[in-house]
Amino acid sequence: MTQRSVVTLGTSVLVASLALSACGTRGGDSGSDSGSGSGDAKKVAKIGVIAPLSGDLSALGKGIEHSVELAVKQANESGDLNGWTLEVAAKDDEAKPDVGKNAATALAGDKDVIGVVGTLNSSVAQSVQPVLNSAKIAQVSPANTNPSLTMGADFANAPKRTYDNYFRTCTTDSVQGPFAARYLFQKAGIKKVATIHDKKTYGQGLATSFSEEFKKLGGQVVEAQTINPDDDKYDAVISKIKPKAPEAVYYGGEYPQAGPLSQQMKAAGLNVPLMGGDGIFSGEFIKLAGATSKGDLATSVGAPTEELESAKKFVTDYEAAKFPEPYEAYGAYSYDAAKAIIEAAKVSLKDATSAESAREATVKAMADVSFDGVTGKVAFDQYGDTTSKVLTVYKVEGEKWAPVNTEEFK
């Protein structure tokens, strides 16, 4: 199912759609017939969103969508867009590469789209990147963490930027995995772990970078297993891991599988913490894992949003907008991703006759984007990666994620 939401933001009011889908997504058509090329006096440019707006990961996807809506609303209210009005065109990728590719193709075909925020999943990004690159549309992800997306397949030995249009506001697995390994080995005192990943790009990359660092530190990976993303019973994997007596299990994947995995581990007598990356850092993980998730761990990009002085206005404004879903793990990074596109568009749209004609100039302007964002300083290096390397370890305490360690990875 393809879902779109439009926010026309020349005023302080978010435009409501005519209908709501069963999962709360606004319906409607944000086609280009009212855009900059139609002869209307109003000049319109659109920021697309590609994220899972339905399905198991929709909690994260809706947080991305709404945060972009908020950024666009405030940009239009600012009155400094050189006479242009921004709109949001959101599409559901269902966390599937082929659906994401179709969403990118549709957005590329809309002549008013000047930039795209997304995707959530690194595997989906691999399908979306070439489509948006061919259309010269800037793409900024708040959540993709696989290093190869910016530095190529041989990123460890010969990094090479593959798509000049692609940027991200989050740090990568090459930082997040080792950060988790250092926390477990050096601060939690854990020397033996087992690893599991879901065979997807994100999960496999995260588990690999974690394992390499953990071994380098002197730790022991006593067992390495995989699951299928569609599985919901993990007794076979748990039975292979349990006899090896790990002190923790590191999981590369996302919360729909991690939650039940944690619960089933504990039920089988494997009473050790499950740790994962930002893909499990959601309240949905705790709901799925239940009471036995106490003590489980996750890393996520940046410092806790609620504790950042720079994020206070974002949190207040998001709550005031009364979006039906919370901003979740990537809200602040999505807001900053949209803001980065907006800052570049202020340059590219200044003398442009249409949004489509300003696409390439927007990509070029992205390289010089630098501002104080919700998450801190927002700027990009030569590969399109964020220059910020701050991460946080969270632990489940009192049925909530509580931050236990925040620092810059060096």
Q: Which residue has the tokens 């972009």?
A: 68
| pLDDT confidence of residue 21 | 33
Report percent pLDDT > 90 for the chain. 86
Domains along the sequence of the chain with CATH? 32-171+307-379 (3.40.50.2300), 173-301+391-408 (3.40.50.2300)
The pTM for the full model equals 0.82
Backbone angles phi, psi at 391, to 5 degrees: -135, 165
In tens, the pLDDT along 175-192 reads 999 999 999 999 999 999
Peptide bond into 119 cis (omega under 30): yes
- Mind listing the pLDDT tens digit for each residue in 311-324? 999 999 999 999 99
Mean pLDDT to the nearest integer, 41-58 = 95
Q: Between vectors from CA 269 to CA 265 and to CA 273, what angle results, nearest 5°?
A: 50
Q: Are 145 and 176 in contact (CB under 8 A)?
A: yes
Q: Residue 42's pLDDT is what?
A: 85
Q: Which tokens go with 43?
A: 């000049």
Q: Residue 41: pLDDT band by 50, 70, 90 thresholds?
A: low
pLDDT by residue (tens digit) across 240-272? 999 999 999 999 999 999 999 999 999 999 999
**Mean per-residue pLDDT of the chain:** 90
| pLDDT at site 161 | 96
